[in-house]
């Protein structure tokens, strides 16, 4: 299907030269894209953000990649950030997977080499499911605190499935624990004050997260690309046992490297020091061996 890229009314962000554009999906949905270009880049990475947040929160991580010779792109998933539409809503269960595949291929078409893929939280789930489905085949995959298993009780998971059938776009409030994002209190304060964050979720999106997490674990034995799994063992936003289960099933593939951080919270790339530097050191070391 044909996609088109359109210039944003704010075609160049004044903060650090971040290029902003729009990409139109096959169903007409526009997604807001951010690029952190790098002259003579040796490689590239596409970043997929988590539930409730947006691509702009990855400025520091993008700068880290830029400093190491990577061009960077991210985008606001539908229902998030500057992408228009109902907050936390999907038209179809696989919308986020189709969107990622479209954005990835659009980015890859303009590069000499395919970009690696990095997903955080719900973005990690979307990235993992998209790769396991064979919709994209990046040279490497990085999963940060992926939402493979939830702390939500079983009755709520069942309720989401029922509501997905009868009221899939019903706006509900998510219950994010701001203070458990990071040990750095400034991260929670900035997130709470961020006008682009959303606290809404719909039954269709919730059911997608619950069901896709389980299928990713079940299908982990089919993992076919080098993958780094970064796990926050003190995570109270997603259940890290999902990452442990995924890692166990993926062992026969010999594609997975797992790093556990016993005391760190959910947002590993936004953690207080020295935690953040420890995470980035592991990421840099792994990239040096696989990219």
DSSP state letters, 42-107: SEEEEEE--TT--GGGGHHHHHHHHHTTEEEEEEE-TTSTTS-SSTT--SSTTHHHHHHHHHHHHH
Burial of 203 (0-12, 13-18, 19+ CB in 10 A): buried
β-sheet bridge partners, residue 227: 141, 256
β-sheet bridge partners, residue 268: none
* pLDDT score of 115: 98
Q: How far is CA 53 from CA 50, 98, 222, in A?
A: 6, 19, 30
**Phi-psi group of 183: left, alpha or beta (phi > 0 → left; psi -120 to 50 → alpha; rest → beta):** alpha
Determine the distance from the C-alpha atom of residue 8 to the mean position of all C-alpha atoms in its chain, rounded to a whole number: 22
* pLDDT score of 14: 38
Domain total in the chain: 1
Structure tokens at 43: 């490689």
* pLDDT score of 42: 94
* pLDDT score of 80: 98
* pLDDT score of 175: 83
The low-confidence residues of the chain, meaning pLDDT below 70, are 1-16
Rounded CA gap, 190 and 195, in Å?
10
- Helix (H) / strand (E) element for 34: namely strand 30-36
* pLDDT score of 12: 40
Domain CATH code at residue 121: 3.40.50.1820
How long a stretch of residues is the chain?
A: 291
* pLDDT score of 4: 37
Domain that holds residue 12: 4-290
Q: How far is CA 129 from CA 38, 86, 144, 168, in A?
A: 29, 23, 14, 21
pTM to 2 decimal places: 0.94
* pLDDT score of 16: 58
DSSP structure class, residue 221? G
* pLDDT score of 192: 94
Q: How far is CA 31 from CA 12, 26, 36, 111, 113, in A?
A: 16, 11, 17, 20, 23
């Amino acid at each position: 299907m044909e996609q088109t890229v359109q210039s944003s009314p704010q075609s160049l962000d004044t903060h650090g030269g971040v290029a902003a554009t729009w990409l139109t999906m096959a169903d007409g949905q526009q997604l807001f894209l951010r690029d952190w270009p790098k002259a003579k880049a040796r490689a590239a990475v596409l970043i997929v953000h988590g539930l409730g947040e947006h691509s702009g929160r990855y400025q520091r991580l993008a700068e880290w990649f830029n400093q190491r010779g990577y061009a960077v792109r991210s985008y606001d998933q539908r229902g998030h950030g500057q992408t228009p539409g109902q907050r936390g809503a999907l038209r179809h269960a696989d919308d986020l997977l189709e969107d990622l595949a479209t954005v990835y291929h659009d980015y890859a078409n303009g590069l000499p080499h395919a970009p690696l893929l990095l997903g955080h939280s719900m973005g990690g789930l979307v990235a993992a499911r998209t790769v396991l489905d064979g919709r994209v085949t990046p040279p490497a995959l990085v999963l940060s605190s992926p939402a493979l298993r939830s702390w939500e009780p079983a009755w709520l998971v069942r309720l989401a499935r029922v509501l997905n059938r009868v009221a899939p776009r019903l706006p509900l409030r998510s219950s994010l624990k701001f203070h458990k994002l990071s040990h750095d209190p400034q991260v929670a304060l900035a997130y709470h004050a961020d006008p682009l964050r959303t606290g809404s979720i719909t039954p269709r999106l919730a059911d997608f997260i619950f069901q896709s997490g389980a299928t990713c674990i079940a299908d982990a034995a089919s993992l076919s690309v080098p993958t780094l799994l970064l796990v926050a063992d003190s995570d109270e936003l997603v259940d890290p046992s999902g990452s442990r289960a995924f890692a166990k099933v993926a062992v026969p593939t010999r594609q997975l490297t797992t790093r556990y951080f016993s005391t760190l919270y959910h947002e590993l790339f936004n953690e207080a020091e020295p935690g953040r530097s420890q995470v980035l050191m592991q990421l840099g070391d792994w990239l040096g061996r696989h990219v």
